[in-house]
């Protein structure tokens, strides 16, 4: 596997470089971009790394430009990396037809349906390929990595961490799609990528994984806006909370915030809390 990357753009923000890179992905069979918040401390020593997974319609740019995470990353001495949310430009029939399926909506799973399975392998990309890209090109401390995300990316962060016990030191999410087998977004994506057999969907559902999790005890922080228009029908957080409460190995801290919705203003308000939370485990 090639781990070569190409610098696409670079800018300064607080005491860090905000860089975008591209590389040829073997898992996805296309060129991918990713963003990096690289604190200046990385010039002197290796740092822990925090993986951010974005939501529907996002690219590597959304977190870099809207999250207000830059100063907190510097203050806490963590590198934050932001992969894209799907393959790009693969010319799969139908991948540009809707905003919640196909391009920008990879759902962090490995597709099994014939049309999608060659390129739409975001689970294997995040778990197998992307960490090797990061470790080969950036001064990261081996084993010191954590993961968080928003909406579809919150779903991705939780499911990936629960399916890979011990891979990450800590886990958190903003407004995660947490029971997709019972929500319209999830049903559409899972039917398209995985086919009609709903039993095959369960291994990518955070609530189902929390019910059955039997690895080392894991803690996670979830922040949710009470005014989020997707909370009731799409995110289904009560189902996830119940699953965690019934499994002593999953220690959930759930915070619901009055007046906040699903967007990046909400994320920017509480992003420092999440970075400090992860830094405690990573240091």
- For the chain, list the domains and their CATH numbers: 6-282 (3.40.50.1820)
Which pLDDT value is given to residue 283?
A: 86
Distance CA 257, CA 30 (A): 39
Which pLDDT value is given to residue 3?
A: 86
Mean pLDDT along residues 250-268: 98
Other beta carbons within 10 angstroms of residue 131's beta carbon come to: 17
For the stretch 131-168, pLDDT in tens is: 999 999 999 999 999 999 999 999 999 999 999 999 99
* Residue labelled with tokens 């975008």: 20
β partners of residue 239:
none
pTM of the model: 0.97
Other beta carbons within 10 angstroms of residue 87's beta carbon come to: 26
State the average pLDDT for the chain.
97
Which pLDDT value is given to residue 2?
A: 73
Annotated catalytic residue 23: no
> For the CA atoms of 216, 221, 226, 228, what is the dihedral angle to 10 degrees?
-80
Using CA atoms, how far residue 95 sits from 22, 86, 121, 153, 265, in Å, is: 21, 10, 14, 19, 29
> For the CA atoms of 117, 56, 176, 165, what is the dihedral angle to 10 degrees?
40
Q: What is residue 248's DSSP assignment?
A: T
Question: Does 231 score more than 80 pLDDT?
Answer: yes
Catalytic residue among 16, 54, 146, 151: 151
Mean pLDDT along residues 9-14: 97
Q: Where are the alpha helices (DSSP H) in 35-183?
A: 61-66, 70-76, 122-124, 130-137, 152-163
Catalytic residue among 70, 228, 274, 278: 228
Catalytic residue among 119, 262, 274, 278: 262
Which pLDDT value is given to residue 37?
A: 98
Annotated catalytic residue 100: no
For the stretch 117-129, pLDDT in tens is: 999 999 999 999 9
Which pLDDT value is given to residue 1?
A: 64
Question: Does 72 score more than 90 pLDDT?
Answer: yes
For the stretch 168-220, pLDDT in tens is: 999 999 999 999 999 999 999 999 999 999 999 999 999 999 999 999 999 99
* Residue labelled with tokens 């596997």: 1
Contacts 24+ apart (CB under 8 A), 115-119: 116/92, 116/192, 116/193, 118/29, 118/90, 119/28, 119/29, 119/30, 119/87, 119/90, 119/92
Which pLDDT value is given to residue 179?
A: 98
Question: Does 254 score more than 70 pLDDT?
Answer: yes
Distance CA 25, CA 77 (A): 28
Annotated catalytic residue 262: yes
Which pLDDT value is given to residue 7?
A: 98
């Amino acid at each position: 596997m090639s781990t070569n990357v190409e610098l696409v753009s670079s800018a300064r923000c607080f005491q860090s470089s905000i860089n975008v890179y591209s590389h040829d992905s073997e898992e996805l069979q296309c060129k991918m971009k990713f963003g990096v918040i690289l604190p200046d401390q990385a010039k002197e020593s290796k740092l822990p790394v925090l993986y951010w997974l974005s939501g529907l319609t996002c690219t590597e740019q959304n977190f870099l430009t809207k999250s207000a995470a830059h100063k907190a990353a510097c203050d806490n001495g963590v590198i934050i990396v932001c992969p894209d949310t799907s393959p790009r430009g693969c010319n799969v029939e139908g991948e540009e037809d809707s905003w919640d399926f196909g391009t920008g909506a990879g759902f962090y799973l490995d597709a099994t349906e014939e049309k999608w399975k060659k390129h739409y392998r975001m689970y294997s990309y995040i778990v197998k390929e992307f960490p090797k890209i990061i470790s080969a090109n950036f001064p990261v401390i081996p084993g010191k990595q954590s993961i968080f995300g928003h909406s579809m990316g919150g779903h991705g962060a939780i499911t990936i961490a629960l399916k890979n016990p011990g891979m990450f030191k800590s886990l958190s999410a903003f407004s995660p799609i947490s029971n997709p087998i019972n929500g319209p977004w999830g049903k559409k994506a899972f039917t398209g990528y995985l086919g009609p057999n709903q039993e095959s969907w369960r291994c990518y559902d955070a609530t189902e994984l929390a019910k059955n999790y039997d690895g080392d005890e894991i803690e996670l922080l979830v922040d949710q806006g009470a005014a989020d228009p997707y909370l009731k029908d799409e995110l289904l957080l009560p189902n996830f909370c119940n699953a965690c409460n019934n499994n002593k190995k999953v220690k959930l801290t759930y915070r619901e915030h009055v007046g906040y919705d699903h967007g990046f203003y909400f994320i920017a308000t509480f992003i420092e809390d999440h970075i400090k939370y992860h830094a405690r485990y990573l240091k």
